[in-house]
Structure formats: C-alpha cells, structure tokens
Amino acid sequence: MPVAVVTDSTAYFPPELSGTYDLTVVPLTVVINGDEGLEGLEISPAEVARALGGRRFTVSTSRPAPGQFAAAYRKLLDSGADGVVSVHLSSRLSGTYDAAVLAAGEVGPQVQVVDSGTTGMGLGFAALAAASTARAGGTLEQVRRSAADNAAQVSTLFYVDTLEHLRRGGRIGAASALLGTALSVKPILHVLDGSIVVRDKVRTAGRALARLVDLAVEAAGTGDVDIAVHHLGSADRATALADAVAMRLGDRLRDCYITEIGAVVAAHVGPGVAGVVVHRRG
C-alpha cells in the first residue's frame, strides 16, 4: 500500500475534488457559546458567520487532540500503509501541527509531519501534491518532500472587512489591527513565514479587491500556476475575483478552484473575507 497522507480540516478542498484523492482529514473543533462541534461535520461556516454577527455570541476554535492524530495514523498503518505523511496548517496560527508531532512521536518514525506554513488551499495544494506523489508510488521521504516543496510554492493573499476577529483570536497584532480602523484603511493581508501580516493598504473595499488581483498576478511569476479563490457566503464576488485573475494570467493558469472557507478560519476572519491562493507549479 502506498504512503498515506493526512491533513486537517482547514485545507478547504473544493467540492469537485471530493473523492479524487486518497486523503485522511482530521477535523478541528469550533466552539460557539460553549457548544463544541467538529469543523465540516457538525458546524458549518454559515453558523459561524451568524454567530459572529450576534453580539451575545462567542466563537473560538481548538486543535485536534494528539490522540485523534495517533488513532488516524495507527488505523492507516494497520491497514497496510508503508508510512504516513501528515501535513497541516501553520504552526504559528494553530497548535494543530504540534499535536500531530506529539502523535507522530508516540506512533513512530514511519509518520512524518509537515508544517505547511499556511492554511486554506495553501495547505490544500501541498496535501494534494503529497497525495499525487504517494499514488505514483513515492517513498515516505519523497511524499514528505513533495508536501514541503509545494507548500513553499504557495502565496496566500486575502482581504477582510475588519481585522477585529483576527485581533481577538491573537492571529494578528494590535498595531496591525489598528490599520483596519484608522482613516478607513482596508488592509490586504498575506501569510509570511507562517504568520498573518499586512501586505498592502488601500482606501475602499472595491480597491482592495482590485489590488488583490494585482498581487495574485505578481505572486504567480512567469510560469504555470493554479489558483484557489476563498470566500465566506460570497460566491458571486469570488467568481468575479477568479475571473479577473484568470483573465490576467491567460494560458498560464492551469487549475482554478472556488471554495468557501470552513468554520475554523471563518471564526478568525469574519464575514466579508475574500482570498486568493496562488500555487506556482515550478
């Protein structure tokens, strides 16, 4: 049996890829007013968006327990997998990677854990590349390297209507969050070295989305790329954003996905998010 690939529920794969790759997904947990639910299974992005819009609601998230990862690893190995590569969202954004490392240490060296340094389809593209390498018969090291190399070829850019949710969750510093309220500045963010930082600043939401297109094209470089556009309850805006990027990239664009973010990231960015993930094919 080939090397098995595990990831977590913040990869946010598009629906059209469901069942086309052999991946095990371990869900994170979302907590709304003390009620816990597994992302993608028990709590939806729409529920989080509604909760964030109500002043009396509190929303938080938590990583999977190491035991959840250990159980998944053992099940795959017991089923005949030669090894397991477990690739996860940035260790600077969540304790998920650390939980996976603890579980891998318990199970043994046949489990290798990769910090993608990002989330969303930035993580998703790395996991898909690892699964493709595994399906082609790659060794444990080849699959691990495929995940790490493809994660390094990703740029994750996004716009949010407010930075307040990121500030509350400790995912962005107070000084950066202040930019979101000063003089109606609309920051465009990106993931840099595993952390969320301000990439650019514009005056209006319309200009922010136009600038997002410019930055995505810039991140694409001169080679072939895949893109994924993320949204939260704004499919029309996501489609327009994807079309604008596709028009600029022309025949260098290979795969283009539009996918809604899940409950965990929704809890930290809030309604109004629009993001573009650029995956350079190298």
CA dihedral 163, 167, 169, 171 (to 10 degrees): 90
Residue 43 lies in a domain: no
- Here the tokens at position 268 are 């930290």
> What pTM did the predictor assign?
0.92
Looking at residue 170, what is its pLDDT?
Answer: 53
Q: Are residues 228 and 187 in the same domain?
A: yes
- Domain of residue 139, CATH code: 3.40.50.10170
Rg (CA), the chain: 18
Looking at residue 56, what is its pLDDT?
Answer: 65
Last residue of one domain, picked from the residues 151, 178, 203: 151
Q: Are residues 146 and 22 in the same domain?
A: yes
Q: Are residues 11 and 147 in the same domain?
A: yes
Q: Are residues 135 and 229 in the same domain?
A: no
List the one residue out of 114, 106, 151, 119 whose CA is nearest residue 10. 119
State the DSSP code for 251: G
Residue 126 lies in a domain: yes
Looking at residue 175, what is its pLDDT?
Answer: 47
Q: Are residues 215 and 111 in the same domain?
A: no
Q: Are residues 159 and 258 in the same domain?
A: yes
Specify the 3-state DSSP secondary structure of 14. Answer: coil
Looking at residue 234, what is its pLDDT?
Answer: 86
Q: Are residues 123 and 166 in the same domain?
A: no
Angle at 123 between CA 44 and CA 6, to 5 degrees: 85
Q: Are residues 142 and 23 in the same domain?
A: yes
Residue 55 lies in a domain: no
- Here the tokens at position 99 are 């939980």
Distance CA 191, CA 199 (A): 9
Q: Are 227 and 213 in contact (CB under 8 A)?
A: no
Residue 49 lies in a domain: no
Q: 183 CB contacts (<8 Å, ≥6 apart)? A: none
Q: Which domain holds residue 72?
A: 4-28+63-151
**H/E element holding 229?**
strand 225-231
Angle at 31 between CA 61 and CA 93, to 5 degrees: 5
- Here the tokens at position 225 are 């790329």
Q: Are 1 and 19 in contact (CB under 8 A)?
A: no
Last residue of one domain, picked from the residues 151, 181, 200: 151
- Domain of residue 223, CATH code: 3.30.1180.10
- Here the tokens at position 130 are 């690892």
Q: Are residues 73 and 138 in the same domain?
A: yes
Specify the 3-state DSSP secondary structure of 253. Answer: strand
List the one residue out of 134, 160, 138 whose CA is nearest residue 24. 134
- For 197-232, letters b (16+ CB in 10 Å) and e give ebbbbbeeeeebbebbbebbbebbeeebbbbbbbbb
Q: Are residues 115 and 226 in the same domain?
A: no
> Which stretches of the chain score pLDDT less than 50?
174-175
Residue 41 lies in a domain: no
- Here the tokens at position 52 are 């964030």
Residue 39 lies in a domain: no
Q: Are residues 139 and 17 in the same domain?
A: yes
Looking at residue 168, what is its pLDDT?
Answer: 59
Single-letter code of the amino acid located at 181: T
Q: Are residues 214 and 256 in the same domain?
A: yes
